[in-house]
Structure 1
Amino acid sequence: MHRNQGLYNYLNEHSWQITEDWYKLVNDEDSESIYSTTDPEIIQSLKEQNQDYFQHLHKLFIEKEEDFFRDFKIWSEELAKDQKHLKTPVQYVVREFMNSQEVYMKYLKEYFSLNKDNVALDQFLSWIDLVRRVVNLSIYIYIEEANRNTLRQLIAQKEIINELSSPVILLRKKIALLPLIGDIDTARAKIILENTLSQCADLRIEDLCIDLSGVAIIDTMVAHEIFHLIQALKLIGVRSTLCGIRPEIAQTAIQLGLDFSHIRTTATLSQALDRIIAD
Protein backbone atom coordinates (compact mmCIF):
# COMPACT_ATOMS: atom_id res chain seq x y z
CA MET A 1 0.00 0.00 0.00
CA HIS A 2 2.86 2.40 0.78
CA ARG A 3 4.79 1.93 -2.48
CA ASN A 4 4.33 4.60 -5.13
CA GLN A 5 6.68 5.14 -8.07
CA GLY A 6 5.28 8.60 -8.75
CA LEU A 7 6.08 9.77 -5.20
CA TYR A 8 9.55 8.26 -5.42
CA ASN A 9 10.22 10.13 -8.67
CA TYR A 10 8.85 13.37 -7.21
CA LEU A 11 11.09 13.13 -4.13
CA ASN A 12 14.15 12.34 -6.25
CA GLU A 13 13.49 15.33 -8.49
CA HIS A 14 13.26 17.65 -5.47
CA SER A 15 15.89 15.88 -3.37
CA TRP A 16 18.49 18.64 -3.29
CA GLN A 17 15.85 21.27 -2.65
CA ILE A 18 14.68 19.23 0.34
CA THR A 19 18.24 19.36 1.69
CA GLU A 20 18.49 23.11 1.06
CA ASP A 21 15.19 23.61 2.87
CA TRP A 22 16.52 21.54 5.76
CA TYR A 23 19.69 23.60 6.02
CA LYS A 24 17.66 26.82 6.18
CA LEU A 25 16.27 25.52 9.49
CA VAL A 26 19.75 25.03 10.97
CA ASN A 27 20.29 27.74 13.55
CA ASP A 28 23.07 26.83 15.94
CA GLU A 29 25.47 29.06 17.86
CA ASP A 30 26.92 26.41 20.16
CA SER A 31 30.61 25.95 19.30
CA GLU A 32 30.35 22.31 20.44
CA SER A 33 27.89 21.57 17.66
CA ILE A 34 28.99 20.59 14.16
CA TYR A 35 25.97 22.55 12.87
CA SER A 36 27.42 25.87 14.09
CA THR A 37 30.23 25.75 11.52
CA THR A 38 30.75 28.54 8.99
CA ASP A 39 33.33 26.55 7.03
CA PRO A 40 31.95 26.15 3.45
CA GLU A 41 33.56 22.72 3.05
CA ILE A 42 32.03 21.39 6.27
CA ILE A 43 28.66 22.90 5.38
CA GLN A 44 28.81 21.19 1.98
CA SER A 45 29.75 17.93 3.71
CA LEU A 46 26.75 18.25 6.04
CA LYS A 47 24.45 18.86 3.09
CA GLU A 48 25.84 15.85 1.23
CA GLN A 49 25.37 13.67 4.30
CA ASN A 50 21.82 14.92 4.69
CA GLN A 51 21.21 14.29 0.99
CA ASP A 52 22.50 10.75 1.35
CA TYR A 53 20.04 10.27 4.22
CA PHE A 54 17.14 11.48 2.07
CA GLN A 55 18.22 9.31 -0.87
CA HIS A 56 18.02 6.27 1.37
CA LEU A 57 14.70 7.44 2.77
CA HIS A 58 13.22 7.82 -0.74
CA LYS A 59 13.65 4.08 -1.28
CA LEU A 60 10.92 3.51 1.28
CA PHE A 61 8.37 4.17 -1.46
CA ILE A 62 9.62 1.58 -3.97
CA GLU A 63 10.77 -1.30 -1.73
CA LYS A 64 9.01 -3.84 0.44
CA GLU A 65 8.68 -2.53 3.97
CA GLU A 66 10.66 -5.34 5.62
CA ASP A 67 13.47 -5.11 3.04
CA PHE A 68 13.71 -1.36 3.42
CA PHE A 69 13.89 -1.39 7.23
CA ARG A 70 16.49 -4.19 7.25
CA ASP A 71 18.82 -2.36 4.85
CA PHE A 72 18.14 1.07 6.34
CA LYS A 73 19.00 -0.16 9.85
CA ILE A 74 22.36 -1.52 8.66
CA TRP A 75 23.17 1.71 6.82
CA SER A 76 22.07 3.87 9.78
CA GLU A 77 24.28 1.96 12.20
CA GLU A 78 27.31 2.85 10.07
CA LEU A 79 26.18 6.46 9.73
CA ALA A 80 25.79 6.77 13.51
CA LYS A 81 29.53 6.08 13.97
CA ASP A 82 30.45 9.36 12.24
CA GLN A 83 32.83 11.05 14.73
CA LYS A 84 31.81 14.62 13.79
CA HIS A 85 28.27 13.91 14.94
CA LEU A 86 29.32 11.84 17.95
CA LYS A 87 31.28 14.87 19.19
CA THR A 88 28.17 17.04 18.84
CA PRO A 89 25.80 17.15 21.85
CA VAL A 90 23.02 14.60 21.36
CA GLN A 91 20.19 17.13 21.55
CA TYR A 92 21.46 18.98 18.47
CA VAL A 93 21.68 15.86 16.33
CA VAL A 94 18.19 14.77 17.43
CA ARG A 95 16.93 18.27 16.61
CA GLU A 96 18.27 17.96 13.05
CA PHE A 97 16.62 14.58 12.61
CA MET A 98 13.35 16.23 13.61
CA ASN A 99 13.98 19.17 11.25
CA SER A 100 14.64 16.71 8.44
CA GLN A 101 11.37 14.97 9.21
CA GLU A 102 9.50 18.29 9.18
CA VAL A 103 10.86 19.24 5.76
CA TYR A 104 10.25 15.76 4.35
CA MET A 105 6.65 15.80 5.54
CA LYS A 106 6.14 19.11 3.74
CA TYR A 107 7.07 17.50 0.41
CA LEU A 108 4.85 14.49 1.08
CA LYS A 109 1.94 16.86 1.67
CA GLU A 110 2.77 18.80 -1.49
CA TYR A 111 2.77 15.61 -3.57
CA PHE A 112 -0.52 14.51 -2.03
CA SER A 113 -2.04 17.93 -2.71
CA LEU A 114 -0.97 17.71 -6.38
CA ASN A 115 -2.25 14.13 -6.79
CA LYS A 116 -5.43 13.90 -4.71
CA ASP A 117 -7.25 12.21 -7.55
CA ASN A 118 -4.71 9.38 -7.70
CA VAL A 119 -3.69 8.99 -4.04
CA ALA A 120 -6.09 7.76 -1.37
CA LEU A 121 -6.06 9.43 2.02
CA ASP A 122 -5.26 6.09 3.70
CA GLN A 123 -2.18 5.73 1.51
CA PHE A 124 -1.02 9.25 2.33
CA LEU A 125 -1.47 8.60 6.06
CA SER A 126 0.53 5.38 5.73
CA TRP A 127 3.40 7.41 4.21
CA ILE A 128 3.32 9.82 7.15
CA ASP A 129 3.36 6.94 9.63
CA LEU A 130 6.24 5.14 7.90
CA VAL A 131 8.41 8.25 7.65
CA ARG A 132 7.95 8.87 11.36
CA ARG A 133 8.95 5.29 12.09
CA VAL A 134 12.07 5.68 9.95
CA VAL A 135 13.12 8.92 11.64
CA ASN A 136 12.45 7.46 15.09
CA LEU A 137 14.59 4.47 14.16
CA SER A 138 17.38 6.83 13.06
CA ILE A 139 17.22 8.72 16.35
CA TYR A 140 17.22 5.51 18.39
CA ILE A 141 20.23 4.10 16.52
CA TYR A 142 22.16 7.36 16.86
CA ILE A 143 21.47 7.70 20.61
CA GLU A 144 22.43 4.07 21.17
CA GLU A 145 25.75 4.58 19.35
CA ALA A 146 26.37 7.91 21.14
CA ASN A 147 25.84 6.13 24.46
CA ARG A 148 28.28 3.36 23.51
CA ASN A 149 30.80 5.99 22.42
CA THR A 150 30.45 7.82 25.75
CA LEU A 151 30.95 4.57 27.68
CA ARG A 152 34.07 3.78 25.64
CA GLN A 153 35.48 7.22 26.44
CA LEU A 154 34.68 6.88 30.14
CA ILE A 155 36.34 3.47 30.32
CA ALA A 156 39.43 4.78 28.51
CA GLN A 157 39.60 7.83 30.79
CA LYS A 158 39.19 5.66 33.88
CA GLU A 159 42.00 3.38 32.73
CA ILE A 160 44.29 6.39 32.23
CA ILE A 161 43.33 7.83 35.62
CA ASN A 162 43.95 4.49 37.32
CA GLU A 163 47.35 4.18 35.65
CA LEU A 164 48.31 7.71 36.64
CA SER A 165 47.01 7.27 40.18
CA SER A 166 49.42 4.42 40.95
CA PRO A 167 52.78 5.36 39.40
CA VAL A 168 55.99 3.86 40.73
CA ILE A 169 58.46 6.76 40.83
CA LEU A 170 62.16 5.95 40.81
CA LEU A 171 63.87 8.01 43.56
CA ARG A 172 67.36 6.59 43.24
CA LYS A 173 68.93 3.35 42.08
CA LYS A 174 66.71 0.44 43.17
CA ILE A 175 64.61 2.68 45.47
CA ALA A 176 61.17 3.90 44.43
CA LEU A 177 58.03 5.62 45.69
CA LEU A 178 54.37 4.60 45.26
CA PRO A 179 52.17 7.56 46.24
CA LEU A 180 48.57 6.45 46.86
CA ILE A 181 45.91 9.16 46.56
CA GLY A 182 42.15 9.16 47.12
CA ASP A 183 39.72 6.32 47.75
CA ILE A 184 40.78 2.77 46.97
CA ASP A 185 38.05 0.36 45.96
CA THR A 186 38.41 -3.28 44.94
CA ALA A 187 38.76 -2.53 41.22
CA ARG A 188 41.39 0.16 41.75
CA ALA A 189 43.26 -1.99 44.28
CA LYS A 190 43.59 -4.73 41.67
CA ILE A 191 44.99 -2.24 39.14
CA ILE A 192 47.42 -0.84 41.73
CA LEU A 193 48.64 -4.34 42.53
CA GLU A 194 49.17 -5.29 38.88
CA ASN A 195 50.81 -1.97 37.91
CA THR A 196 53.06 -1.84 40.96
CA LEU A 197 54.36 -5.38 40.56
CA SER A 198 54.97 -4.84 36.85
CA GLN A 199 56.73 -1.49 37.29
CA CYS A 200 58.89 -2.70 40.19
CA ALA A 201 59.99 -5.71 38.17
CA ASP A 202 60.78 -3.55 35.11
CA LEU A 203 62.74 -1.00 37.19
CA ARG A 204 64.45 -3.73 39.26
CA ILE A 205 63.34 -2.12 42.49
CA GLU A 206 64.57 -3.52 45.81
CA ASP A 207 62.92 -1.04 48.22
CA LEU A 208 59.52 0.59 47.73
CA CYS A 209 58.10 3.41 49.86
CA ILE A 210 54.32 3.29 49.89
CA ASP A 211 53.08 6.78 50.77
CA LEU A 212 49.61 6.83 52.33
CA SER A 213 49.48 10.57 53.06
CA GLY A 214 46.98 11.05 50.19
CA VAL A 215 44.61 8.29 51.32
CA ALA A 216 41.59 9.89 52.99
CA ILE A 217 39.94 6.76 54.40
CA ILE A 218 41.29 3.39 55.44
CA ASP A 219 39.11 0.42 56.31
CA THR A 220 39.57 -3.33 56.53
CA MET A 221 39.22 -3.71 52.77
CA VAL A 222 41.86 -1.07 52.00
CA ALA A 223 44.18 -2.50 54.67
CA HIS A 224 43.72 -6.00 53.27
CA GLU A 225 44.63 -4.80 49.78
CA ILE A 226 47.73 -3.00 51.10
CA PHE A 227 48.80 -6.15 52.98
CA HIS A 228 48.19 -8.17 49.81
CA LEU A 229 50.36 -5.76 47.81
CA ILE A 230 53.19 -5.90 50.33
CA GLN A 231 53.11 -9.71 50.37
CA ALA A 232 53.16 -9.86 46.57
CA LEU A 233 56.07 -7.41 46.45
CA LYS A 234 57.97 -9.55 48.95
CA LEU A 235 57.59 -12.54 46.64
CA ILE A 236 59.40 -10.69 43.84
CA GLY A 237 62.14 -9.47 46.18
CA VAL A 238 60.88 -5.97 46.98
CA ARG A 239 60.94 -4.68 50.58
CA SER A 240 58.12 -2.30 51.45
CA THR A 241 57.94 0.64 53.84
CA LEU A 242 54.68 2.39 54.68
CA CYS A 243 54.99 6.13 55.27
CA GLY A 244 52.75 9.16 55.66
CA ILE A 245 50.03 7.52 57.76
CA ARG A 246 48.06 10.49 59.11
CA PRO A 247 47.01 10.57 62.80
CA GLU A 248 43.30 10.17 62.00
CA ILE A 249 44.08 7.19 59.76
CA ALA A 250 46.22 5.63 62.50
CA GLN A 251 43.39 6.13 65.00
CA THR A 252 40.88 4.53 62.64
CA ALA A 253 43.24 1.59 62.08
CA ILE A 254 43.47 0.97 65.83
CA GLN A 255 39.69 1.17 66.23
CA LEU A 256 39.26 -1.37 63.42
CA GLY A 257 41.86 -3.66 64.96
CA LEU A 258 44.14 -3.48 61.91
CA ASP A 259 47.60 -4.90 62.58
CA PHE A 260 50.51 -3.06 60.95
CA SER A 261 53.09 -4.40 63.42
CA HIS A 262 54.66 -6.76 60.89
CA ILE A 263 55.14 -3.95 58.34
CA ARG A 264 57.89 -1.33 58.48
CA THR A 265 56.35 2.11 58.93
CA THR A 266 57.65 5.67 59.21
CA ALA A 267 56.01 9.04 59.69
CA THR A 268 57.49 10.66 56.61
CA LEU A 269 59.04 9.77 53.28
CA SER A 270 62.42 11.22 54.29
CA GLN A 271 62.47 8.97 57.37
CA ALA A 272 61.65 5.99 55.17
CA LEU A 273 64.53 6.81 52.84
CA ASP A 274 66.94 7.28 55.78
CA ARG A 275 66.00 3.87 57.13
CA ILE A 276 66.32 2.18 53.74
CA ILE A 277 69.76 3.70 53.16
CA ALA A 278 70.88 2.80 56.68
CA ASP A 279 69.91 -0.83 56.11
Structure 2
Amino acid sequence: MTPTRTLAAASLALAALAAPSQAFDIDAMSDAERSAFRSEIRSYLLDNPEVLMEAIGVLEAREAEAQATADADLVSSLGDEIFRDGRSWVGGNPDGDITLVEFMDYRCGYCRRAFPEVEQLLETDGNIRLVVKEFPILGEESLLASRFAISARLIAGDDAYKAVHDALITQRASVTTASLSKLADDLDLDGDAILAGMEAPLVTEEIRANHDLARKLDINGTPSFILEDEMLRGYVPLARMQELVAQVRADD
Protein backbone atom coordinates (compact mmCIF):
# COMPACT_ATOMS: atom_id res chain seq x y z
CA MET A 1 0.00 0.00 0.00
CA THR A 2 1.32 3.46 -0.89
CA PRO A 3 1.87 6.07 1.84
CA THR A 4 -1.00 8.14 0.45
CA ARG A 5 -3.36 5.17 0.54
CA THR A 6 -2.19 4.17 4.00
CA LEU A 7 -2.86 7.70 5.25
CA ALA A 8 -6.29 7.69 3.62
CA ALA A 9 -7.20 4.34 5.15
CA ALA A 10 -6.01 5.49 8.55
CA SER A 11 -8.03 8.67 8.23
CA LEU A 12 -11.14 6.68 7.43
CA ALA A 13 -10.59 4.45 10.44
CA LEU A 14 -10.07 7.44 12.75
CA ALA A 15 -13.16 9.12 11.37
CA ALA A 16 -15.17 5.97 11.99
CA LEU A 17 -13.99 5.79 15.59
CA ALA A 18 -14.60 9.46 16.24
CA ALA A 19 -18.05 9.73 14.66
CA PRO A 20 -19.22 6.41 13.22
CA SER A 21 -22.74 7.57 12.48
CA GLN A 22 -21.44 10.43 10.37
CA ALA A 23 -18.44 8.70 8.85
CA PHE A 24 -20.49 5.80 7.53
CA ASP A 25 -23.74 7.58 6.72
CA ILE A 26 -23.58 7.04 2.98
CA ASP A 27 -26.68 9.17 2.38
CA ALA A 28 -25.03 12.15 4.08
CA MET A 29 -22.05 12.08 1.72
CA SER A 30 -21.80 14.00 -1.48
CA ASP A 31 -21.48 12.04 -4.70
CA ALA A 32 -17.74 12.77 -4.80
CA GLU A 33 -17.26 11.70 -1.17
CA ARG A 34 -19.26 8.53 -1.70
CA SER A 35 -17.27 7.66 -4.81
CA ALA A 36 -13.96 8.29 -3.06
CA PHE A 37 -15.04 6.25 -0.04
CA ARG A 38 -16.04 3.26 -2.16
CA SER A 39 -12.91 3.54 -4.25
CA GLU A 40 -10.73 3.51 -1.14
CA ILE A 41 -12.49 0.43 0.24
CA ARG A 42 -12.09 -1.37 -3.08
CA SER A 43 -8.41 -0.48 -3.32
CA TYR A 44 -7.75 -1.57 0.23
CA LEU A 45 -9.44 -4.96 -0.30
CA LEU A 46 -7.59 -5.54 -3.56
CA ASP A 47 -4.30 -4.84 -1.80
CA ASN A 48 -5.29 -6.93 1.24
CA PRO A 49 -7.53 -9.79 0.02
CA GLU A 50 -6.79 -11.77 3.18
CA VAL A 51 -9.04 -9.31 5.00
CA LEU A 52 -11.99 -10.74 3.07
CA MET A 53 -11.21 -14.27 4.24
CA GLU A 54 -10.83 -13.02 7.80
CA ALA A 55 -14.16 -11.23 7.60
CA ILE A 56 -15.85 -14.29 6.14
CA GLY A 57 -14.41 -16.41 8.94
CA VAL A 58 -15.74 -14.02 11.58
CA LEU A 59 -19.14 -13.98 9.89
CA GLU A 60 -19.31 -17.77 9.72
CA ALA A 61 -18.31 -18.07 13.38
CA ARG A 62 -21.02 -15.60 14.39
CA GLU A 63 -23.61 -17.42 12.28
CA ALA A 64 -22.60 -20.78 13.76
CA GLU A 65 -22.87 -19.37 17.28
CA ALA A 66 -26.28 -17.89 16.53
CA GLN A 67 -27.45 -21.18 15.03
CA ALA A 68 -26.22 -23.14 18.05
CA THR A 69 -28.08 -20.78 20.39
CA ALA A 70 -31.25 -21.04 18.32
CA ASP A 71 -30.95 -24.84 18.21
CA ALA A 72 -30.48 -25.03 21.99
CA ASP A 73 -33.57 -22.88 22.56
CA LEU A 74 -35.57 -25.02 20.13
CA VAL A 75 -34.46 -28.27 21.74
CA SER A 76 -35.32 -26.90 25.16
CA SER A 77 -38.83 -25.95 24.05
CA LEU A 78 -39.42 -29.43 22.56
CA GLY A 79 -37.67 -31.43 25.27
CA ASP A 80 -40.54 -33.79 26.10
CA GLU A 81 -41.15 -34.68 22.45
CA ILE A 82 -37.45 -35.22 21.80
CA PHE A 83 -36.30 -37.05 24.90
CA ARG A 84 -39.43 -38.40 26.62
CA ASP A 85 -42.12 -39.12 24.04
CA GLY A 86 -43.06 -42.46 25.62
CA ARG A 87 -42.88 -44.21 22.26
CA SER A 88 -39.34 -44.24 20.93
CA TRP A 89 -37.03 -47.12 21.74
CA VAL A 90 -34.44 -46.29 24.39
CA GLY A 91 -31.08 -48.08 24.40
CA GLY A 92 -27.60 -47.72 25.79
CA ASN A 93 -27.80 -46.89 29.48
CA PRO A 94 -31.39 -45.78 30.22
CA ASP A 95 -30.07 -43.97 33.32
CA GLY A 96 -27.10 -42.40 31.54
CA ASP A 97 -25.96 -38.88 32.34
CA ILE A 98 -26.13 -37.87 28.67
CA THR A 99 -28.88 -38.47 26.11
CA LEU A 100 -28.19 -38.91 22.41
CA VAL A 101 -31.15 -38.89 20.03
CA GLU A 102 -30.89 -40.24 16.49
CA PHE A 103 -33.29 -39.65 13.61
CA MET A 104 -32.59 -42.51 11.21
CA ASP A 105 -33.72 -44.25 8.02
CA TYR A 106 -32.90 -47.91 7.35
CA ARG A 107 -32.10 -47.24 3.69
CA CYS A 108 -29.73 -44.35 4.45
CA GLY A 109 -26.10 -45.13 3.64
CA TYR A 110 -24.76 -42.72 6.23
CA CYS A 111 -27.08 -44.16 8.89
CA ARG A 112 -25.53 -47.55 8.12
CA ARG A 113 -22.10 -46.05 8.38
CA ALA A 114 -22.95 -44.41 11.71
CA PHE A 115 -24.56 -47.54 13.19
CA PRO A 116 -21.41 -49.44 14.30
CA GLU A 117 -19.83 -46.21 15.52
CA VAL A 118 -22.84 -45.32 17.66
CA GLU A 119 -22.78 -48.86 19.03
CA GLN A 120 -19.11 -48.50 19.88
CA LEU A 121 -19.74 -45.13 21.51
CA LEU A 122 -22.40 -46.66 23.76
CA GLU A 123 -20.29 -49.69 24.63
CA THR A 124 -17.08 -47.83 25.41
CA ASP A 125 -18.74 -45.00 27.31
CA GLY A 126 -21.36 -46.93 29.25
CA ASN A 127 -23.20 -43.86 30.46
CA ILE A 128 -25.08 -42.63 27.39
CA ARG A 129 -28.84 -42.98 26.90
CA LEU A 130 -29.81 -43.48 23.23
CA VAL A 131 -33.23 -42.58 21.84
CA VAL A 132 -33.99 -43.81 18.31
CA LYS A 133 -36.50 -41.90 16.19
CA GLU A 134 -37.83 -43.84 13.22
CA PHE A 135 -37.73 -41.28 10.40
CA PRO A 136 -38.37 -42.97 7.03
CA ILE A 137 -37.80 -40.42 4.27
CA LEU A 138 -36.20 -42.42 1.45
CA GLY A 139 -39.18 -44.10 -0.13
CA GLU A 140 -41.48 -47.06 0.28
CA GLU A 141 -38.81 -49.50 1.44
CA SER A 142 -37.82 -47.13 4.23
CA LEU A 143 -41.43 -46.86 5.32
CA LEU A 144 -41.94 -50.64 5.23
CA ALA A 145 -38.82 -51.17 7.34
CA SER A 146 -39.84 -48.60 9.95
CA ARG A 147 -43.38 -49.93 10.17
CA PHE A 148 -42.04 -53.45 10.66
CA ALA A 149 -39.57 -52.36 13.37
CA ILE A 150 -42.18 -50.39 15.30
CA SER A 151 -44.71 -53.19 14.98
CA ALA A 152 -42.11 -55.65 16.30
CA ARG A 153 -41.57 -53.45 19.36
CA LEU A 154 -45.28 -53.08 20.05
CA ILE A 155 -45.96 -56.80 19.67
CA ALA A 156 -42.77 -58.46 20.94
CA GLY A 157 -41.06 -55.81 23.08
CA ASP A 158 -37.86 -53.79 23.20
CA ASP A 159 -35.47 -56.71 22.76
CA ALA A 160 -37.26 -57.74 19.58
CA TYR A 161 -37.09 -54.17 18.31
CA LYS A 162 -33.35 -54.02 18.92
CA ALA A 163 -32.80 -57.29 17.04
CA VAL A 164 -34.97 -56.13 14.12
CA HIS A 165 -33.37 -52.67 14.09
CA ASP A 166 -29.85 -54.09 13.96
CA ALA A 167 -30.78 -56.53 11.19
CA LEU A 168 -32.53 -53.91 9.06
CA ILE A 169 -29.79 -51.29 9.36
CA THR A 170 -27.20 -53.78 8.15
CA GLN A 171 -29.37 -55.41 5.47
CA ARG A 172 -28.35 -54.74 1.89
CA ALA A 173 -31.19 -56.57 0.15
CA SER A 174 -34.41 -54.86 -0.83
CA VAL A 175 -37.07 -54.52 1.84
CA THR A 176 -40.21 -56.42 0.88
CA THR A 177 -42.97 -58.23 2.72
CA ALA A 178 -41.24 -61.50 1.88
CA SER A 179 -37.84 -60.32 3.15
CA LEU A 180 -39.41 -59.02 6.36
CA SER A 181 -41.19 -62.31 6.93
CA LYS A 182 -37.90 -64.16 6.49
CA LEU A 183 -36.19 -61.76 8.85
CA ALA A 184 -38.81 -62.49 11.51
CA ASP A 185 -38.26 -66.23 11.03
CA ASP A 186 -34.49 -65.79 11.34
CA LEU A 187 -35.00 -63.91 14.62
CA ASP A 188 -37.57 -66.42 15.90
CA LEU A 189 -40.32 -63.81 15.96
CA ASP A 190 -44.00 -64.09 15.00
CA GLY A 191 -43.71 -62.65 11.52
CA ASP A 192 -47.41 -62.97 10.70
CA ALA A 193 -48.40 -60.97 13.77
CA ILE A 194 -45.77 -58.30 13.17
CA LEU A 195 -46.69 -57.93 9.51
CA ALA A 196 -50.38 -57.71 10.41
CA GLY A 197 -49.60 -54.97 12.92
CA MET A 198 -47.64 -52.74 10.55
CA GLU A 199 -50.69 -50.62 9.66
CA ALA A 200 -51.87 -50.26 13.25
CA PRO A 201 -52.81 -46.71 14.30
CA LEU A 202 -50.02 -46.61 16.92
CA VAL A 203 -47.43 -47.38 14.22
CA THR A 204 -48.77 -44.69 11.91
CA GLU A 205 -48.98 -42.19 14.76
CA GLU A 206 -45.36 -42.75 15.80
CA ILE A 207 -44.05 -42.16 12.29
CA ARG A 208 -46.27 -39.11 11.85
CA ALA A 209 -45.15 -37.67 15.20
CA ASN A 210 -41.48 -38.16 14.30
CA HIS A 211 -41.96 -36.39 10.98
CA ASP A 212 -43.78 -33.53 12.70
CA LEU A 213 -40.99 -33.22 15.25
CA ALA A 214 -38.35 -33.26 12.52
CA ARG A 215 -40.12 -30.38 10.76
CA LYS A 216 -40.16 -28.37 13.98
CA LEU A 217 -36.44 -29.01 14.39
CA ASP A 218 -35.67 -28.26 10.72
CA ILE A 219 -34.37 -31.81 10.27
CA ASN A 220 -34.65 -32.93 6.66
CA GLY A 221 -31.92 -35.56 6.36
CA THR A 222 -30.56 -38.64 8.06
CA PRO A 223 -28.79 -39.35 10.22
CA SER A 224 -29.49 -36.36 12.43
CA PHE A 225 -28.50 -36.34 16.08
CA ILE A 226 -29.36 -34.33 19.15
CA LEU A 227 -26.73 -34.53 21.88
CA GLU A 228 -28.32 -32.96 24.93
CA ASP A 229 -29.11 -29.45 23.59
CA GLU A 230 -26.88 -29.56 20.51
CA MET A 231 -28.14 -30.37 17.03
CA LEU A 232 -25.79 -32.48 14.89
CA ARG A 233 -27.12 -32.61 11.34
CA GLY A 234 -25.53 -35.40 9.33
CA TYR A 235 -23.01 -38.15 9.94
CA VAL A 236 -20.60 -37.54 12.83
CA PRO A 237 -17.45 -39.73 13.05
CA LEU A 238 -16.93 -41.65 16.26
CA ALA A 239 -13.89 -39.63 17.37
CA ARG A 240 -15.78 -36.36 16.94
CA MET A 241 -18.80 -37.73 18.78
CA GLN A 242 -16.55 -38.75 21.68
CA GLU A 243 -15.10 -35.24 21.76
CA LEU A 244 -18.57 -33.71 21.85
CA VAL A 245 -19.68 -36.03 24.66
CA ALA A 246 -16.58 -35.08 26.68
CA GLN A 247 -17.27 -31.40 26.03
CA VAL A 248 -20.87 -31.73 27.25
CA ARG A 249 -19.69 -33.35 30.47
CA ALA A 250 -17.00 -30.71 30.96
CA ASP A 251 -19.56 -27.92 30.56
CA ASP A 252 -21.94 -29.39 33.14
TM-score norm. by structure 2 comes to 0.32
TM-score norm. by structure 1 comes to 0.30
Specify which structure has the bigger relative contact order, considering alpha-carbon pairs within 8 angstroms and separated by 6 or more residues.
Answer: 2
Q: Which protein shows a greater Rg?
A: 1
